[in-house]
Structure 1
Amino acid sequence: MQDQSLPLPPLLTTFWRMLLWDYIVVGGGLAGSVISNRLLERNPALRILLVEAGINANDRQDIVWPNSTNGQFGDFDWAYYSEPQTNLNNRSIASNSGKGLGGSTLINGAFWVRGHTVEYDQWAELVGDDRWSYEGQLPYMRKTETFMTNDTDLEQHGLDGNVKIQNRVSTNRTKFPMREPLLKSWEELGASQLPQLDGNMGEPIGIAEAQENRDMGRREQTSLVYSLDGITVLTETMVAKIITTTTTNGTIIAHGIELANGTEIYSSETILTAGAYRTPQILMLSGIGPAETLEKYNIPVVLNQSHIGQHLHDHPIIPTFWQLKDPSAGYARESGSAIWDEPQYDLGLDIDFLTTLPVPKDGLAKAIAEDEGETPNPDTHPLLKQDRAHVCHVLQYSGASTDGSSLFFMTLMLVVQAEGSVTISSAYINDEPVIDPNFLGTATDRYALREAIRTDIRLMTSNETVIGREIVSGELSDNPLTINSTDDEIDARIRENGAGCYHPSGTASMGKVVDTDLRVKGISGLRIADTSVIPLLLSANLQVATYALAEQAAVILEPNTA
């Protein structure tokens, strides 16, 4: 990897302007690193330039381990905030995004989650291309991973990929003190254990063990596990726009990029991998986007494309905290129990299970009718005709107190109907994009999250479960939620505590902005290959899907080489 940063001296600036690259990849995050690596692997003669706004963090040790403190809101986070959210008490919500080689793999929680086959298959149906179905993307999911258990289903998982996947067994974290009561409590509520406790085989509804993309605790930064040797890399370099020309017959051709300092760099093909926030911003600053937005900021319209920046999806999350009846039992890491001093418990998150569940369909149908203005057909409506991986419940044994007296719960809504947007506030790349996820903007979403919180209450503090009967005394709050809490009381807590999961997608959707070969419609020589092209929200953290997308993108770009 040849790593340089700008500003460049005048002579070298002229060199960059004149040099023609086969590919310029804009954004050195997860997708950009994978695509650059695989393109060169498929064709070693290629000249590839990877341009990243952040620094090269490959040698930074302060982000490596689970207890590292330089994560979200640290050196490698754009640390964006949303517009005020109507359904979250008009609060501006953190919209974190990785900045640096490796992108969000520098700061994420390292959860390894594929999601449900349903959304992938809907994706393929929506765009008319089976390559984007679950089965179509499965070979690339398998190619990505080295799955670290002895009972691996080899039809679903890979054993020799770049990314190592660990779980409780592979790291010998086998004695979490609350494991058995938690498992029994979920079963008391009717949840079932998934085969091999593996939620990453396409059918995640049930109880699964948490999987993490770590190598015996070590963070798997994409720019390290997908080598960039042989790739020319510019770090600390902002791309201001895509260079285009329009021929006399109206054909629009992308020729490369213009940097924030005015330097022009030319390529045969340009690939945007700047993420669901920055990719639409770069497009709009290039004159590609909604004409009314471009005209507002005196940006010449190259292509009027109304869908750019629209259809933003993200997962809302609700944190809650629960008081233990007997902190000395050692359930929480901060309790001082000797089990937490064993070194293997520093190798991963203090989590046993991800429990993924549907929500009751009767209430869901009523909420859908409120949104859509008519009673849905339960046999045909996509949210009703089968169980969906609607919500994920995660109990973490740390982070709630300094004395081990409480536990931390995270409730994620995975199937989301509300759509938001990303737009610009100026014609300058150094100004942040304007982000509006529109969290809980539909009655369907508000109902689903309310029901998810009711499930949390039943799990943690009702007589239905061993946890509620013997372990937890109640929610840690001035106005604790109980099994008798009303809809209004639960909704108030959601509005007060709701946040986002930092899983943005959809702002340059496949079928609307790009075709199924990732080419920007209406422009030659320009493609997009990041989460912005995912046309619907997946019921998962987006790492796995982004790795698969990037792996397949390299094959699409260089189809006849290996």
Structure 2
Amino acid sequence: MSNLPQEADYVVVGGGSAGCAVAARLSEDPRVKVVLLEAGGKATNPWLHIPIGYAKTMMHPTLSWNFMTEPEPELEGRRIAWPRGRVLGGSSAINGLLYVRGQAEDYDHWRQLGCPGWSHAEVLPYFRKAEDQERGESEHHGTGGPLAVSDLGMRNPLVDAFIAAGQEIGLPYNPDFNGASQEGVGHFQVTARKGWRCSAATAYLRPARRRPNLLVITGAQAERLLMEERQVTGIAYRREGEALTISARREVILCGGAVASPQLLLLSGIGPAEELAALGIAPVHHLPGVGRDLQDHLQVRMIFRSARGGTLNDKMASLRGRMEIGLEYALFRRGFLAISAGSAGLFARALPESETPDTQFHFVPYAADRPGGKLLPYSAFTISTCQLRPESRGSITLRDADPRKPPVIRANYLSAEKDRRCMLAGLRLVRQVARSRTLAPWIAEELQPGGNDDSEEALLGHLRRTAATIFHPTSTCRMGSDANAVVDPRLRVVGLRGLRVADASIMPTVVSGNTNAACIMIGEKAADLVKAAA
């Protein structure tokens, strides 16, 4: 029999971006006992700590859940791979490291949707609290927080040419996408320091795990919530084949992410009552919004053969190049091994009616057969575009009552006409950048989609054949004040006591950019909400 604890004041389910922050902050009070349950293992794989390692870990058979969507009707029936982190740190341990908060207008919109306390002015202190900004403290940034935020450890003439091309087509140079305005072109910042990834586990758990009142249990797969009437009292979970339970004297905080959080609620009988009954699950609490309102950023890549080299593909083509890459990183913690999933970025208004940027570019000086895949055997680079505020909505539902089976994921990409228009406008904008006087000399040919056909038919065909997730699912336990909201603005599950959700699933709408920074902010704010209720 296991000698693991059977009771704690707070049980945090999921050691991802938000869960690590929640557990660490709650355990700052030595009077309370906090247990964090994480289905994955410890972050022992060395590729988890090297920035470029996301190419090795994102689709890893044990470090990622490797979900798949159902066939997507608007993407030629393709099933889209959805990697999610299955390790301490969650997806912050396998993501592309980009630190992008979104737009101030995103959070002000949340407040307008019935979420008081979540305006930009009210969440900015939590972004600043979390941050240890390499550039120093300012109105928008903080120092001394657990999360290292730094400039990229590499500069590259090809990357500089892309940034100059963005300026050539009329965009301003933006030195800080998380500052006064997001619009423009510039370098991304990353969650890394001195060439090492800073995941949420590194940032929050590494210093906190020395506390005697915090216990992190890895390999713990949550199976259902324990309840007495409308009070959530604990968690049933499985570890090393053994069925275990743990009770929460005060609260359970669910931080499983946009896939696992609604899945656990549904497995526990919390969700649309008729759907649960049809699966043989006794409905405990009818909550129709669980698993609904799924949103995700869809990306489509354009690949160009380089006329001047300067890419990672060139370096990796020879033994000498590979040795130079390894030596530069070993000696200085910089170079190609220190780059992220975006060496430079661009935020623009691709549609004329947009008042703020609706499109994001990720530029990298390399090209692979798929995101996180094998490098192509020639000199090439990639510009990907994604729509920032999709109107398409999907769902997370159960396949059956077995907690070991993955849920049914229907993203419904491109089901909204505006999403198709915006993605096509983004592709045309990529070509405008590529044809600029600055970047054109670097391009020998456009490889994907190829040709010069700017027609809707040609570009939409490329979009349907090749588009994929950019790994930002949200909103499946949506926060709000309406009848379909799953949590209220204090992150309490509507109609229940003793249970909150704190992760990407609570976002009323997906933020306009990469989601990791917002998830950490949510974790920081959630911890304060829990403390205030104690």
Q: TM-score, normalised by structure 1?
A: 0.85
CA distance in 2, matches of 1:334, 1:427: 46
- Secondary structure of residue in 2 paired with 1:67: helix
- Secondary structure of residue in 2 paired with 1:73: coil
Residue 192 of structure 1: aligned partner: 172
- Secondary structure of residue in 2 paired with 1:112: coil
Figure out how many residues of one structure are paired with residues of the other and give that number. Answer: 501
Report the Cα offset of residue 350 of structure 1: 7.6
Report the Cα offset of residue 506 of structure 1: 0.4
Residue 21, structure 1, aligned to residue 8, structure 2? yes
Residue 435, structure 1, aligned to residue 409, structure 2? yes
Q: Work out which of the residue numbers 450, 474, 497 in structure 1 matches 2:424.
A: 450
Q: Deviations over 1:368-394 (max 9, x none)?
A: xxxxxxxxxxxxxxxx4x522211112
Q: Deviations over 1:306-346 (max 9, x none)?
A: 1000000100000121122x3xx332123349896754213
CA distance in 2, matches of 1:70, 1:216: 20
Residue 79 of structure 2: aligned partner: 92
Q: Work out which of the residue numbers 115, 120, 127 in structure 1 matches 2:102.
A: 115
CA distance in 1, matches of 2:180, 2:498: 35
CA distance in 2, matches of 1:223, 1:90: 37
Do the aligned residues in 1 keep the contact of 2:51 with 2:192 (CA within 8 Å)? no
CA distance in 2, matches of 1:398, 1:359: 25
CA distance in 2, matches of 1:264, 1:350: 39
Residue 357 of structure 1: aligned partner: 348
Residue 278 of structure 1: aligned partner: 260
Q: Work out which of the residue numbers 254, 258, 266 in structure 1 matches 2:236.
A: 258
Query: Which runs of structure 2 are paired with 1:28-177 in the superposition (5 Å)?
Result: 28-41=15-28, 43-57=29-43, 59-68=44-53, 70-74=56-60, 75-129=62-116, 131-149=117-135, 152=136, 154-168=138-152, 171=153, 173-174=154-155, 176-177=156-157
Q: Deviations over 1:420-466 (max 9, x none)?
A: 00010111110101111111110000000001000111211x3x433
Residue 532 of structure 2: aligned partner: 559
Q: Which is greater in Rg?
A: 1
Report the Cα offset of residue 202 of structure 1: 5.0
Report the Cα offset of residue 403 of structure 1: 5.4
The aligned amino acid for 1:332 is: T
Do the aligned residues in 2 keep the contact of 1:115 with 1:202 (CA within 8 Å)? no
Residue 480 of structure 1: aligned partner: 450
Between 217-226 and 549-558, the greater mean CA deviation after superposition:
217-226
- Secondary structure of residue in 2 paired with 1:312: coil
- Secondary structure of residue in 1 paired with 2:302: strand
Do the aligned residues in 1 keep the contact of 2:18 with 2:521 (CA within 8 Å)? no
Q: Work out which of the residue numbers 206, 209, 225 in structure 2 matches 1:228.
A: 209
- Secondary structure of residue in 2 paired with 1:184: helix
CA distance in 1, matches of 2:498, 2:290: 18
Report the Cα offset of residue 40 of structure 1: 1.1
Report the Cα offset of residue 560 of structure 1: 8.1
C-alpha distance 297-360 of structure 1, shift in aligned 2 (>3 A): closer
Report the Cα offset of residue 414 of structure 1: 1.1
- Secondary structure of residue in 2 paired with 1:156: coil
CA distance in 1, matches of 2:161, 2:247: 60
The aligned amino acid for 1:508 is: C
Do the aligned residues in 2 keep the contact of 1:458 with 1:465 (CA within 8 Å)? no
C-alpha distance 202-298 of structure 1, shift in aligned 2 (>3 A): farther
Report the Cα offset of residue 485 of structure 1: 2.3
CA distance in 2, matches of 1:350, 1:119: 23
Do the aligned residues in 2 keep the contact of 1:253 with 1:523 (CA within 8 Å)? yes
CA distance in 2, matches of 1:296, 1:89: 30
Do the aligned residues in 1 keep the contact of 2:137 with 2:143 (CA within 8 Å)? no
Do the aligned residues in 2 keep the contact of 1:33 with 1:228 (CA within 8 Å)? no
Do the aligned residues in 2 keep the contact of 1:332 with 1:404 (CA within 8 Å)? no
Report the Cα offset of residue 153 of structure 1: 6.0
CA distance in 1, matches of 2:89, 2:137: 29
- Secondary structure of residue in 2 paired with 1:550: helix
The aligned amino acid for 2:39 is: A
Report the Cα offset of residue 404 of structure 1: 4.8
Residue 248 of structure 2: aligned partner: 267
CA distance in 1, matches of 2:11, 2:533: 20
Residue 369 of structure 1: aligned partner: none
Do the aligned residues in 1 keep the contact of 2:150 with 2:191 (CA within 8 Å)? yes
Q: Work out which of the residue numbers 296, 305, 312 in structure 2 matches 1:333.
A: 312
Q: Work out which of the residue numbers 361, 368, 378 in structure 2 matches 1:393.
A: 361
Do the aligned residues in 2 keep the contact of 1:333 with 1:404 (CA within 8 Å)? no
CA distance in 2, matches of 1:473, 1:223: 43
CA distance in 1, matches of 2:343, 2:69: 31
The aligned amino acid for 2:181 is: E
Residue 398 of structure 2: aligned partner: 424
Query: Which runs of structure 2 are paired with 1:519-538 in the superposition (5 Å)?
Result: 519-538=492-511
Residue 212 of structure 1: aligned partner: 190
Do the aligned residues in 2 keep the contact of 1:481 with 1:490 (CA within 8 Å)? no
Query: Unaligned 5+ residue runs, structure 2?
Result: 369-374
Residue 237, structure 1, aligned to residue 220, structure 2? yes
- Secondary structure of residue in 2 paired with 1:355: strand
The aligned amino acid for 1:475 is: E
Q: Deviations over 1:93-137 (max 9, x none)?
A: 0111101211112211101001111111101121240x2111111
Report the Cα offset of residue 402 of structure 1: 5.0
CA distance in 2, matches of 1:164, 1:298: 46
The aligned amino acid for 2:33 is: R
Do the aligned residues in 2 keep the contact of 1:320 with 1:408 (CA within 8 Å)? yes
C-alpha distance 229-388 of structure 1, shift in aligned 2 (>3 A): same
CA RMSD of aligned residues (A): 2.0
Q: Deviations over 1:467-517 (max 9, x none)?
A: 22x22133114x6142x4210100000001100011111001111111111
The aligned amino acid for 2:489 is: T
C-alpha distance 351-50 of structure 1, shift in aligned 2 (>3 A): closer
